[in-house]
Each structure stands twice: as structure tokens, then as C-alpha cells.
Structure 1
Amino acid sequence: MLPYPEIDPILLHLGPLQVRWYGLMYVLGFMASYLLVRHQIRRYNLTVLGKHFENLNLVLIVSLVLGARLGYVLFYNPAYYLANPQDILATWQGGMSFHGALMGMLLGGLLFCKITGLPFWQSADVYIITTPIGLGLGRIGNFINGELYGRMSDVPWGMVFPGGGSMPRHPSQLYEAFLEGVVLFSLLWLLKNRYWQRGWPTGSLLALFLLFYGIFRTVVELFRQPDAQLGFLFNVLTMGQLLSSLMIGTGLLILFLRRKSAGAA
């Protein structure tokens, strides 16, 4: 068993304000995405996207935060928030959903593209390959907070989390940080070269993100403790697995439709 490194979730105290590691991870994720998208705009001469780059970033950040919160409210604890609607926007109490964040970004991005005439599928491809960085950092933030820990286990690297009882558990946050962060980013960043060189249909990288993330998340959910208020759905699946299976199906559908559309053109 490995000792859980009890890191103070609060990085800095600035008078009455607190800077938390989890919040810092969000900021670092936004910064990384900003720099890598700008790099792609310059390398591939995406002048139309470059024209709307700053405004689209703002729309996506707002859409991500709103989507993440509303996704948690709707997917993971609707009964509580129906009874306590005043807490829906109380993000400082915790509760963010990546599936909701992704839906928020896609809807916000689609609306922005419709209004400005920006090509949605290509823009989505450029942005989505940077998303795993924020995902990986966010899972590290979860680990520091001691939340979203894994199921009980006797593996040598199991840890006793402060809020998880006295038995060692899988550090599933680190599994997610590795698979959904390091592995997924490396895979998509390498595939983008083929995307541009071989003229893959736009939307292909978004589809591959949905497919691979869904697979990785479904696997990690086998080691992650289900949310206490939900438990197992149908006595088999976790909510994360259900939503991720929908992502896998959506990714396959987009791949098929975009390739079919490109072939018809």
C-alpha cells in the first residue's frame, strides 16, 4: 500500500480569497488549449479560425463551465438540486461533469459557428485535440482533493483516502489522468498530422476523441467508486459508463457520416 500524499487543496491564501489546486488546473488547461490552438492556426494557415479565435475561446470557456455544472446537476444529482435550486450555481461546493462540459462546448461552439460562418467540424477538430490536457490536469486536481477515488482494492499501490474509509482503494484519478490525459493527447496529437496530410474528412478528430475517451473512461470506471447518490444503474453500469457508451456510439456515427459525406462530395 502507498501512503496518500495529503496535499492541502488550497494552494494560496490571498486575504479572504483562496487559490485552490483544482481551480489552477482549470486555468492551466485553458492556457494550454489557447497556445496549442494558436499554434495550429499558424501552422495550417487557418485564417478564418484565426479571425474569430479570441471570441470563440471566450464562448467555449463559458460554455464549458456552465455545461460542466448543469451536467452534474442533471446527470448525477437531479433530486437534490430539484429540492435545492438555489445551489445549482454554487460551484464552490463541488460537482462538475466532463460529459456536461463537452456537451456545453459543442453546443456553444456550434452556435458561435452558425452565427459567424466559421466551419464547425474543422474548428472542433482543432480544439478537441487539446482537450485531454485539461482532462488530465483536472484529474490530478481530483486526486489532490481526495475525491472521485477508486473502489477498494489490495493492489500494492492502493491508497487510503481521507474520505474513503479505512480500506485502501484504487487511485483511479491517476488512472484517468494517464489514459484520458497523457495517452489520449499523445494519440490525437500524432493523428492530426495524418488528418492534415491525407485530407481526412473534417470532424474525424472529434469523432476519434469521442471514441477513445469513451473507451478509456468506460475501462477506468471499472476501478472507480460509483457516485454514492447513484450507485450502479441497472445493477451493472455506472453513470460514467452509460454516458461514455453514448460517446462511443456518437463517435462511430460521426466517423461514418463524415466519411460518407466526403465520399459523396
Structure 2
Amino acid sequence: MLLAIPFPPLSPELFSIDLGWFRFALRWYALAYLAGLVIGWWMIWRAMKRPALWPGDVAPMQPVQVEGLLTAVVLGVIIGGRLGYVLFYDPAQFLAEPWLIPQIWEGGMAFHGGLLGVTIAALIYCRRIGAPPLQVADAMSMVIAVGLFFGRISNFINAELWGRASDAPWAVIFPGEAAQDCPGPEGLVEYLGLTYCARHPSQLYEALLEGLIMGVILLYLAYRRGWLKRPGALTGGFLLIYGASRFFVEFFRQPDEQFTSPDNPIGFAIALSPSIGLTMGQILTIPMILAGIWLAARAKRA
């Protein structure tokens, strides 16, 4: 039988307090959001204290104003991420049961919706304080990989958003439905006398590409190549790198179940044939890639 890696004994909760009538649990996913926001705030705050990084040696906002930007970003992430999931991935269910929409503790957040929500919230805040939006977008683009990295690691710990069935020796036997529901012979492994379905750890692929690698590249461009002096350049770089990384990882990530069927086992949102098509994640990244190319080219011309 094929080789695979059993899922480590990880709990979605860092710790919990259960008093019978009251229960509080700190989940890794919540900690990931908190760590990404706080570290991102600190990195932007430090960048605003270095005016030499910016056009004309003038930072787009005062360091003290970064705290207000953080508040706007938090609202944008929560509202945009949830509404993006509702509209992009399962609108029929939420139209039938709209009271489920605010129940974000049950899961269901879309990165593309969160990005749109953050963009709108940041634009409103920039207008209120008179900051140049494109330069603020560059500052946010420089740090967003931190949140993505922690978020994808927490997805792995939660054993969610796992990948497609795989024969790769580093494939993981995730617990629950992922281990039982194999669409074909690919990925079938024997472990402790039982047969399971091994899958790509696509969460870790995304943590590496969209988090670590993209973050290092963008920080290098910001601090060593002077890209913050060209408004829009770093934002374009982020959109391009993230879009290309997500498009690639979608070949290994299990699509959302609402797009899968016996006639469409791969889960294409647009299917040209049973083996050729585009997932919803890939469709949503195409505008990002095009916008990234346009912004980077515009910044270079300027």
C-alpha cells in the first residue's frame, strides 16, 4: 500500500474553560486572526516612522493613525469575509436561512470577500483622515502575508480546507470525512489495518506560497528595492503573487462541496469537460492577477 502521514494529535482549541453553565475556548483560528492583525499593525506602524521609505520622504499617515486603520481593517475582514463566502460559495442556503449569515463562529469566511471588505473600509478611513489611498494600500499589502500564513496554519490544525486525494508520500490522512470519502483509487492507503484516503496538505502549500514566500518577497521589495516610493507598485506585486499562488494551489485543494457532483467530481465552477475547467477560487483570482499586472505597470510608468 502507499505511504502517507497520519494527522498529528492537534486540537482546534488552544485551551478551554468549562464551568458547566459557562464555556470559553480560545481557538487557533481566532489566535491566527489576532496575531496577523497585531503583527501587521506593528509592521505598518514601524514603516510610518521611516519617512525615507515613502515618496518625497513623507509617510502617508502619522504612526498614531495606524490604530484607526487597524479598527477599519478588522471590520472589513469580518464583514467582507463573511459576505464574500455567502455570495460566492453558497448563496442559495443563506437566502433560504438568512439567520445563519451572522453566525461566523460556525465557519465560512472567504479571503476574496475579506480583501474587498478591507479595501472599502481602508478607503473610507483614508478619506476621513486625508491619507493617499494607494500608499496606504501598499503598506497593507506589505504585511498581509503574515495573516495569511497564520490563517493557513490554523486551517491545517483545524483539519479543514484539505486538499485532493493524493498518492504523494507526504500526503496526510486527515480525520473525519476527509479520510473516508475518496473519489477513486488515488490516495487510498492502509494504516493500522484500515483503509483511508490520504490528501494533499494544501493548507501548508498555501502557508508557504501565500504566506512565507510572498511575505519575504514583498518585504524585500519594500525595504531593499524602494517599491514603497512608487505608489501602487507593492499592491500590484501582492495581487499578482497572491493570485498566481492561489491559482496554482487550487490544482491541489479540494473544492467546496457545493460545486462537486457525480458529473463534476473535481468541483469545477466552470467545467469544459470532466477533467478541464476552473474552480471558484481560480475564477476569483483572475481579476486579482490582471489588476496586479496593471498596477505594477502603472507604477513603473509613473
The answer, yes or no, to whether TM exceeds 0.5 is yes
Aligned pairs for 1:45-84 (under 5 A) are 46=59, 48-84=61-97
Q: Which residue of 1 aligns with 2:186?
A: none
Q: Which residue of 1 aligns with 2:101?
A: 88
Q: Which runs of 5+ in 1 are unaligned?
A: none
Structure having the larger proportion of residues in strand: 2
Name the CA distance, whole Å, in 2 between partners of 1:173 and 1:73. Answer: 21
Q: Which residue of 1 aligns with 2:263?
A: none
Name the CA distance, whole Å, in 2 between partners of 1:136 and 1:208. Answer: 17
Q: Which residue of 2 aligns with 1:11?
A: 14
Aligned pairs for 1:133-144 (under 5 A) are 133-144=146-157
Name the CA distance, whole Å, in 2 between partners of 1:167 and 1:245. Answer: 31
Moved more, 213-222 or 5-14: 5-14
Deviation, structure 1 residue 46: 2.3
Going from structure 1 to structure 2, the CA distance change for 1:47 and 1:79 (only over 3 Å counts) comes to: closer
Deviations 1:183-206 (A, max 9, x none): 00000000002553x774201101
- Matched residue of 1:13: which SS? strand
Going from structure 1 to structure 2, the CA distance change for 1:229 and 1:52 (only over 3 Å counts) comes to: same
Deviations 1:227-257 (A, max 9, x none): 1112211221111111111110111122233
Query: What stretches of structure 1 move > 4 A for 4+ residues in a row?
Result: none
Going from structure 1 to structure 2, the CA distance change for 1:179 and 1:119 (only over 3 Å counts) comes to: same
TM-score w.r.t. length of structure 2: 0.82
Name the CA distance, whole Å, in 2 between partners of 1:26 and 1:237. Answer: 29
Aligned length: 260
**Contact kept in structure 2, 1:49 and 1:118, CA below 8 Å:** no
Deviation, structure 1 residue 115: 2.3
Coordinate RMSD, CA, aligned: 1.5
Name the CA distance, whole Å, in 2 between partners of 1:28 and 1:256. Answer: 33
Deviations 1:43-93 (A, max 9, x none): 236273424211111011111111111111111111111111000010011
Deviation, structure 1 residue 22: 0.9
Q: Which residue of 2 aligns with 1:212?
A: 241
Q: Which has the larger radius of gyration?
A: 2
Deviations 1:89-128 (A, max 9, x none): 1001100111111111111111111222111111111121
**Contact kept in structure 2, 1:194 and 1:200, CA below 8 Å:** no
Moved more, 226-235 or 199-208: 199-208
Q: 2:292 aligns with which of 239, 251, 260?
A: 251
Letter in 2 for 1:188: L
TM-score w.r.t. length of structure 1: 0.94
**Contact kept in structure 1, 2:60 and 2:131, CA below 8 Å:** no
Name the CA distance, whole Å, in 2 between partners of 1:47 and 1:204. Answer: 15
Q: Which residue of 1 aligns with 2:185?
A: none
Q: 1:103 aligns with which of 92, 95, 116?
A: 116
